[in-house]
Amino acid sequence: MTTSMTSPKEVIIVGAGYTGLAAALDLSRAGFKVTIYEKDSDVGGLAGTFELSPGTRVEKFYHHWFTSDVDVLDLIDELGLGHLKRFVSSNTGLYYANSVFRLASPLDLLTFKAIPFIDRIRTGLMALIARRINEWKPLEDISAEDWLIQHGGRKAYEAIWSPLMQGKFGVEAENVSAVWMWNKLKLRGSSRNKKGGESLVYFGGGFGKLTDGIRESLSKLGVTIKLNTGINSIITENGRAVGVVSEQGSHRADAVLVTTPLPTFLAMTKDLPQDFRAQCEKIRFLGNSCLVLRLNRSLSSTYWLNVADPSFPFVGIIEHTNLDSRENYNGEHIVYLSKYLPTTEKLFSFTPDEMLEYCIPFIQRIFPAFDRSWIIGHHVWKAQYSQPVITKRYSESIPPLKTPIAGLWLSTMAQIYPEDRGTNYAVRYGRKVARDIIDDFSKATPCEELNNLLVGNNSGTGV
């Protein structure tokens, strides 16, 4: 991939999550000079990791891929890391009415006697129905609740879906579009093995090993990554983005790509047209608080346990070491307890110790044998903008990748639609916006190039 540029142009990327990293790869390969600014101490964004011990890392938030996640899986192959992909059969379950039910295959669903037999059949068929829907636009006018009742029956909705929707979205549950649920069912249904069970993909050495590989490739391409450096504002001159102001000073460039959460972008970009800002502000977000437990024994054989009880302080219990061997984590059992919630709720402000004490009685309700002596350590990781609320007619609120300010580009999880957020789509949209930026520069006329220089488009760093 090349451009017609006579001299290297510089692009600043704000945010070193998978969107920013993927965009940086393609832009640098096309001959651009790329600098990435990241406010955290490491790359990876929501797929970032932390150390259990020197040299042993695990994700802050639980992660895996589906076999249909071709964008990130293809990127892994491009990096020469395909041999580290691990294909694993998943064991899923549901906590409902004080009992744990295995729901890893169609046969498990057929024996789930909490709902009538006909509703079990209808629920099982929903994944097939979802996979056959190619035109999702008509779903935008339907709520997830109405769509689930229509296809799975009211009993199934009340037993399975309503508690999960309440646990995931809380007061926003009734506002969620059928598009969100359709996509979830389609995605999971497309990642089945020949026996009907779910097949997932993980990375040998964890996501931290993958980000190491991406970072190594970026280094070879001459990409600069500035960690622990947040961006305060976007510099605009004559209606064009010409750089950023960081905590270390100003840095001018030919274009700026922002990959932070949408509200963060709005806060740092003061000169946006009011109608564009108002469109972006229609999108609402939930935060996430994730308790990570390090245990000396396993809770169960289940990898992903959905908790169909909104009174619990978590919507899922994910025992990571039932997906990836505990031998990769010093023999510890790693468990995530995830809760989506408005950041104004008290639980979001809990310290790690407060969160642990709050959750222990609930864990013991599901796993009566669980004891404090099992706990080796615990951590809590929080994300303020973890999940956009996919409301009806959500497509009308999505901002374009190319903003109204010339030279300013935007690629965030809020624009990943009809798909939901995730590293696969972060890679897809990171590469898409990189192509758009490359094409934009390729189409620039000599007069436009001269104008860009006249408005002060100098590559370099100043204070």
Average pLDDT per run of 10 along the chain, which is 463 residues long?
64 98 98 97 96 95 94 97 94 91 83 90 88 91 95 92 90 93 83 71 96 97 97 96 95 98 97 96 96 98 93 94 96 97 95 97 97 97 96 96 98 94 95 97 65 44 30
Find the helix packing angle between 117-131 and 144-152, rounded to 10°: 120
Residue 157 DSSP symbol = I
Res 456: pLDDT: 43
Res 193: pLDDT: 64
CB 173, CB 392: distance < 8 Å: no
Res 458: pLDDT: 41
- Exposed, middle or buried, 325 (CB in 10 Å: 0-12/13-18/19+)? exposed
Residue 19 CA neighbour count, 13 Å, CB half: 28
Sheet strand arrangement including 199-203: 65-66, 199-203, 85-89
Res 347: pLDDT: 95
- Exposed, middle or buried, 422 (CB in 10 Å: 0-12/13-18/19+)? buried
Containing H/E element for 3?
none
What residues contact 433, with CB distance under 8 A and at least 6 apart? 19, 23, 257, 401, 409, 410, 411
Res 447: pLDDT: 52
Mean pLDDT of the chain: 91
Inter-CA distances, 363 with 58, 98, 140, 290, 351, Å: 22, 12, 37, 14, 18
Res 105: pLDDT: 77
CA distance 119 to 127: 13
Res 187: pLDDT: 80
Alpha helices in 400-445 (DSSP H): 423-443
Res 131: pLDDT: 86
- Number of continuous H segments (helices) and E segments (strands) in the chain: 14, 21
Res 459: pLDDT: 38
What residues contact 272, with CB distance under 8 A and at least 6 apart? 266, 403, 404, 405
Res 272: pLDDT: 96
CA distance 294 to 382: 17
Look at the alpha carbons of 138, 140, 145, 148 in this order and tell me if their dihedral is positive or negative. positive
Find the helix packing angle between 423-443 and 18-29, rounded to 10°: 40
Res 106: pLDDT: 78
Nearest to 26, CA basis, from 422, 432, 410: 432
Res 195: pLDDT: 62
Residue 341 DSSP symbol = E
Q: In terms of DSSP bridges, do strands 408-410 and 255-258 run parallel, antiparallel, or are they unpaired?
A: parallel
- pTM value > 0.85: yes
Res 192: pLDDT: 64
CB 268, CB 278: distance < 8 Å: no
